[in-house]
Amino acid sequence: MIPVMWLFSLSIFTVLREKTRLRANAPGILLNFFLFTTVPFLLCSYLIYCVYLLIIPIMGRSGSGNHAEEVVAFITTTIFSLLFNLLAPLILYVRSPKKILSLLSTGFLISVLLLVLTPLGFPYSGEISSPTPQRYMVMHVDRVYFSKENTVRERKSGLWLIDLDVNSPKGG
């Protein structure tokens, strides 16, 4: 349904742009483009929000076998790329595309440098007063071994330490 809405709204925008005198009026084109794509964009934003509501708790419970941050980053990159492809032609209607692209590139570069070179991007602190949280689950298990005659042959019990993320203590 959402792709049909994108297609329908962009088709109406294109037909109206060709039938009216909006071809020479760049601000009018941008305003109409944003007007026609507001509803599909809001629906896509809501669906992205729902995907995050579904995926992030699952990634939190999936254990330490994968890095949940990488999965969420991949999903975010994919969704952003799909939405950006629909908005990329807007750069043609701007007076100086080089200024806009250089401004966006500079903002991206500054944010990446801030995340990589400062403690802002590191999710865990090295302070002793607030150590890195370790998520693990401790379960008491009881194993019962039965013989062929269905009698208890052996019974063992103990604690089972299940690590839930990459910061959990590793068993050796």
Q: Is residue 133 part of a domain?
A: no
State the pLDDT at residue 106.
96
**Is 72:53 a contact under the CB 8 Å cutoff?**
no
State the pLDDT at residue 63.
57
**Is 22:29 a contact under the CB 8 Å cutoff?**
yes
**Is 124:132 a contact under the CB 8 Å cutoff?**
yes
Quick: pLDDT tens for 62-72. Answer: 655 667 778 88
Q: Is residue 152 part of a domain?
A: no
Q: Is residue 52 part of a domain?
A: yes
State the Rg of the chain over Cα.
27
Quick: pLDDT tens for 15-54. Answer: 888 887 766 676 777 788 888 888 888 888 888 888 888 8
CA 56, 61, 62, 68 torsion-angle sign: positive
Q: Is residue 150 part of a domain?
A: no
Q: Is the pTM of this model over 0.85?
A: no
Q: Is residue 154 part of a domain?
A: no
State the pLDDT at residue 157.
93
Q: Is residue 144 part of a domain?
A: no
Q: Is residue 76 part of a domain?
A: yes
Structural domain containing residue 18: 1-121
Q: Is residue 38 part of a domain?
A: yes
Does residue 171 have a pLDDT over 60?
Answer: no
d(CA 85, CA 26): 20
Number of domains the chain is built from? 1
